[in-house]
Amino acid sequence: MQINRARIRNLGNYLSALPAGVAFRAIALADGQTLHRLGLSDDPGQGETLLPRAIGPISRFNAEGRWAPLKDEPRESRYIRTLSWNWTTWDGQEHSDFKDIYRDCYQRAFEPPPGVELTYVEHADRRLITSPELQNVEAQASHNLHVINLLLEVFGACELVTADLAQLTPALNRANWRILPPGPHPWERIAEYLDRAVGRLGEGTQRVIRDRQRTIQDHGPDEVWVGEGGFDDYMAYVFRDRGIVVLESVRKGNAIYAFTSDWRAVSQLTKAEIIQNDLHQARIVHIDGWKGRLSGLLRKAA
């Protein structure tokens, strides 16, 4: 069954021909442009698997989750963001500082990201992107709808297939992270990456994000990894001797996550596991005092 829609709202017209309980997949044709939209290289390897980059509301929910306001509950004071500001004193001296902004907001409930990953396969002389295996059962209807709409948003069309499922299941090779090459001047490599990652943001926001990344780099990590696809809002700093991996966002609203695991284990976590499953040792929000809390965490582990 071929679907050429921007989005569908129910599955009835598309799964009615499939027997109840049958397994199926959603697939899409892959070319250079669509691979780039997904976050893969132009020539990925068989089985390369990635959380899709957030390019619209469905892929953003898939990668980041979403918040629902609780309008029947009392409002609460909430940290919104940090501003960078500069001023000149009467004697001509330039000064800069960071200011945390709070507002009274509705309380809210977090719906964690589904974290559906897509896989590149070559099959029957075709280059394809395939979803995980799905089940045509009522209990999975909402999830199936999300997966199909995810492919429609990223690729503009998809096909539902039940044949050759075994051939569409290669050994998975997650490609959500890549290492920044080591060198004598690590901050220069990080700054070069940040120029591309945050170059379109306002100057004040860039200063906030660069200050956060520089603060972690000053602690001397052994490796620095950058996220790809749906992980492209995070950088990972690996402190091998301390047994800690620090994930820091290149977006101004997200927190630091610290894990007492080796990098191999952390790199296999899904986005939902990082955000929601309490697998981290510490979560540090970027409010006043966060640098001291991070330093204390790293000193304790030394």
Amino acid in the structure at residue 109: A
- Tally of CA atoms within 13 A in the half-sphere of 161 that contains its CB: 18
Position 179 confidence tier, pLDDT thresholds 50, 70, 90: confident
pLDDT in tens, 6-59: 999 988 888 887 888 889 999 999 888 888 888 887 788 888 888 998 999 999
Q: Evaluate whether 51 touches 270 at the Cβ level (below 8 Å).
A: yes
| Torsion angle (degrees, nearest 10) of CA 256, 67, 146, 27 | -30
196, 216, 192: which is closest to 291 by C-alpha? 216
pLDDT at 302: 64
Alpha-carbon distance of 140 to 132, in angstroms, equals 13
pLDDT in tens, 104-158: 999 999 898 999 999 999 888 888 999 999 999 999 999 999 999 999 999 999 9
pLDDT in tens, 55-79: 999 999 999 899 999 999 999 998 8
SS3 85: strand
In this structure, of 21-30, 77-86, 190-199, 218-227, the range with the lowest mean pLDDT score is 77-86
Task: Give the pair of three-digit tokens for residue 34.
Answer: 């669509």
Q: Evaluate whether 116 touches 132 at the Cβ level (below 8 Å).
A: yes
Q: Which of left, alpha, beta for 48 (phi over 0: left; psi -120 to 50: alpha)?
A: beta
pLDDT in tens, 232-267: 888 999 998 899 999 998 887 678 999 987 888 888
Every domain of the chain and the residues it spans: 2-64+116-174, 72-111, 177-301
Residue 44 CA to its chain's centroid (Å): 19
Pairing state of beta strands 134-135 and 23-29? antiparallel
Q: What is the CB neighbour count within 10 angstroms for residue 14? A: 18
Residue entry with tokens 């001023």: 87
pTM (two decimals): 0.78
Task: Give the pair of three-digit tokens for residue 150.
Answer: 């995810």
